[in-house]
Amino acid sequence: MLKRNNIMLFCALAVMLIFASVGCFGFGPSDDYEVSLSASPEEGGVTKGEGEYDEGDEVTVEAIAEEGYVFEKWMEDDEKVSDEAEYTFEIEEDRELVANFEEVKEYEIKLSIEPDESCGEVYGEGVYRKGEEVTVEAKSAPDCGFYKWEEDGEKVSTDAEYTFEIESDRHLVAHYYVELPPWFQVSAEPEEGGDVYAEMEDDRVKVEAEAAEGYKFLHWVEDDEVVSTEKEYTFEKDKHEELVAKFKEKEEDEVTYKLKEDKIVVIWKDRPNSGYSIDIVDVSYNERDGILHVAYDLSEPEPGQNVLPVITDEKDKAPLPVDSGEIEEVRLKEVDNDPSYELKENKIEMVWTTPTSGYDITIDGVDYDETEKTLQVEYYLFVPPPPENVLMVVTDVEDEERLPVDKEKIEEVELELILGPIRVYCPEEGLQ
């Protein structure tokens, strides 16, 4: 009996030793971890790989987007853990992963041609996904040449093949010039001063000058006579035979200044004739850097006006916002205070971009010339004198007027500055 009990005890000890050894060598039970998956938003897609895994297992989870969505990222505890739709990791703890999907945003590219479709063809119009790289291309027809892509009236590229990453709807206009008759010539002087373009519009010619960096456009001349100071100049085809766009290299010392005790004076050194003026538009002081910023505007007389006995305003002054002893540096910046316009569906809106308050623009009259298909707009401006131009006055920088004709009938807009009512600023009563 004792022998039998010894045998049973020996067997029990052997079994215990076997289990102990198995546990020591990793063959015993191990920890299980759970992988939980979800999608955000739920309709954005489905996930694969959810379940229980042994510690140390290599786990791969997958996010599959539904139609109209794209996978964006895997998130855990509000932190991104992967950008890959298939995410592989070694599991060491419970994981709760969220597959983020994003609804596909699509944007439309519209293309059009100016002056008309006979000038060439454009390619690249269509619908694209957000962030996609888009290339539009303009090809020229015989007797035409491409010179720029425009959007909302602003040049965006001079390359016939224009590539960009799409982030919004865009309407691009390919501008072509029609080769002119051999009797008409257009050029730039100096050649490096800028680019010139010319095109036929029915029985009219439109020329355009664009200054290169470091240069400014002066005027159009023929036989050394100034015919226009506008960068875009349109005329009857038989009016001119050879136009030259005059450019001038910008000079740093063209405008200088003098600091007085309580004011600043800006001086325009380079004045070829009478009728020129300089106006201080804004004066501000950066206390941290000790820099006085002065914005000024240069105006030139219209053709013919410079031979009249017009008084030249060669300098302007404005009060200092701080004591002159606190100013460590003065920075001058030229700004353009010429008004611009935008044709809406049934109205014209004039905008006067000014850097400070107290300015006003008013449309005085709108007329349409049916023969020339030209909208003629008369307006006047009010510029408050210093120190009112640095006061907190409500600024009316735009004005609008209903169009007398359908927008599509307007081929050109002519803006004319007139002498309007005298506007006086009274600090207590405002504009009068």
DSSP single-letter state for residue 325 = G
Residue bearing the bigger pLDDT, 362 or 15:
362
Taking the C-alpha atoms of residue 215 and residue 154, their distance in angstroms, rounded to an integer, is: 19
Mean pLDDT, the chain, rounded, equals: 80
pLDDT (mean) for 44-57: 94
Tokens of 69: 């969505």
Peptide bond into 115 cis (omega under 30): yes
Peptide bond into 41 cis (omega under 30): yes
Predicted local confidence at residue 93, as pLDDT: 94
Query: Predicted confidence band at 233 (pLDDT cuts at 50, 70, 90)?
Result: confident
Predicted local confidence at residue 10, as pLDDT: 54
Tokens of 213: 């960096």
Predicted local confidence at residue 79, as pLDDT: 93
Question: In sequence order, what DSSP letters do the residues of 264-277 get, joined into one string?
Answer: EEEEE----SSS-E
Find out whether 397 and 351 touch, Cβ atoms under 8 Å: yes
Predicted local confidence at residue 20, as pLDDT: 46
Name the one residue in this structure whose structure tokens are 């009563």. Answer: 429
Predicted local confidence at residue 409, as pLDDT: 84
pLDDT digits (tens, 9 = 90+) for 150-204: 998 788 888 899 999 998 899 999 988 776 666 778 889 999 998 888 877 667 7
Neighbours of 261 (CB within 10 A): 8
Query: 91-100, 149-158, 210-219, 415-424: which range is least confident on average?
Result: 415-424
Predicted local confidence at residue 385, as pLDDT: 55
**pLDDT over 70 percentage in the chain:** 78
Query: 203-212, 221-230, 302-311: which range is least confident on average?
Result: 302-311
Whether residue 100 is predicted with pLDDT greater than 90 in this model: the reply is yes
Predicted local confidence at residue 126, as pLDDT: 94
State residue 204 phi and psi, 5-degree precision: -125, 155
Predicted local confidence at residue 63, as pLDDT: 96
Taking the C-alpha atoms of residue 225 and residue 238, their distance in angstroms, rounded to an integer, is: 17
Whether residue 24 is predicted with pLDDT greater than 60 in this model: the reply is no
By the 10 Å C-beta count (0-12 exposed, 13-18 middle, 19+ buried), 370 is classed as exposed
